[in-house]
Amino acid sequence: MDESLWPDTGSARYFHEGDLYYPPRLMSHENLDDYTPGGFHHIMLGDGFSQGRYRIVHKLGYGGFSTTWLARDQHKNILVALKALRASASVETDTVDYTIRDVVIPQKLHSALPTSDLFRPVHDSFVEGPNGLHRFLIHPFAGPSLYSILMDNFGKQVQLRLDLARKVAKQTASAIYEMHRVGFVHGDLTTSNILFRVIDPILGWSDAEVYHYLGAPRTDELRTTSGDPYGPHVPRELVEPVNHLRFFKQTLLLQENIVVIDFGQSYEVASPPKIYQPGTKMNYTSSETLFDDRAGVEADVWALGCAIYEICTGYHFFAMLSGDRDEILSEIFQTLGKPPDTWWKTFEEEWTELTRCPVHSRVSLAADAIYNAPAHVENALPITEVPKVRMDEKEVDLLADLLEKMIRYRPGKRITMEEVINHPWFDM
């Protein structure tokens, strides 16, 4: 790493008294406090797992429960994604079984839908480390998420090409329809859990090709503030994830097809889990979950409606800044109006008047905002719409009609997934 590019003074802005480590000189990295017993397994470039079968090539990302890496399956000489779960989330307990679902549900879907390409197969293994026993999930390598281009593009407005938005929305809807048809609830559909597929030749890339197209890994040595050794629980160095924009700026790296992932909240309709705590992002959470703490296939329809709006406009359907429950309820009330009396009685004194912005208005206003947004030359990507193209009124009407039927207070009043995939908006 070129130290001249990242002087020590540059990281001092993020240092707080009492921190155990100096801030790594990287643009993005996981929380160092997660490297502790029960937390993350420390992984470094070149590490091998499963008797050396999987060798770490690059880093793809991280979250609260895992780090995800690009690895080479040295038996097949292809690239795979390796998701390393924190130890506390790796073994089933009375309150933690979502990691088991993330293995079992894809396997069951593959058995029930052997010809479907909307889901990734998965297999798992266990790795013992200083922080505990970790479950590793191995998937075929896929590209970045829809969220990463729509919502994580350095604050600049991005819109998929209108034809591609409909195609991606239809594929996503088809995935949820297929899950419901064979008896499964997804439970956590967001644009973060919808990935673009990479073109097949990428799976056979050499390490040199990975670094040429996706950039060489950037690393920084971990340094303790005390000067003492950092112990066995943390890695010697941290790795910055691949910049997702490298996928989008290369015309031929991605297919215009998607896969749906993350089944930690999924379950079989016929045998729901005894303990189920919905974990969907607040602005995707259905009314019955917010008010009654329950979910089902109808909650998937609600979440899909929110995702479709996001896919088409680049905006959240229910916007949130603080993440506060009341903030989301206000958005829902403004969009759908007064909820059923059993729910409304809790809030009627707090919200005596509602400023309405119905579904059709939201779609129309988003179309206007996209048209009027400043054009950023650097945002001109093969999958994005050219500047100053507005969704026509017929599409606005049809999209609003679809969303109005999917996002309703009463679960029983929402259309089914079969009705969703047969809606005329998809055929424009």
Annotated binding site: 83
Instruction: Pull the structure tokens for residue 326.
Output: 């009341």
Contacts of 383 (CB under 8 A, 6+ apart): 149, 160, 161, 164, 248, 254, 256
Number of helices and strands in the chain (H, E): 13, 12
Q: Rounded distance, CA 169 to CA 174, Å?
A: 8
Closest to 263 (Cα-Cα) out of 119, 85, 60: 119
Tokens of 390: 């507005």
3-state per-residue secondary structure call for 241-253: CCCCHHHHCCCCC
Binding residue ranges for ATP = 83
β partners of residue 58: 70
Smallest Cα–Cα separation from 78: which of 184, 220, 198?
Answer: 198
Beta-carbon contacts of 161 under 8 Å, excluding residues fewer than 6 positions away, are: 383, 384, 385
- Burial status of residue 3 (CB atoms within 10 A of its CB: 0-12, 13-18, 19 or more): exposed
CA distance linking residue 249 with residue 238, whole number of Å? 26
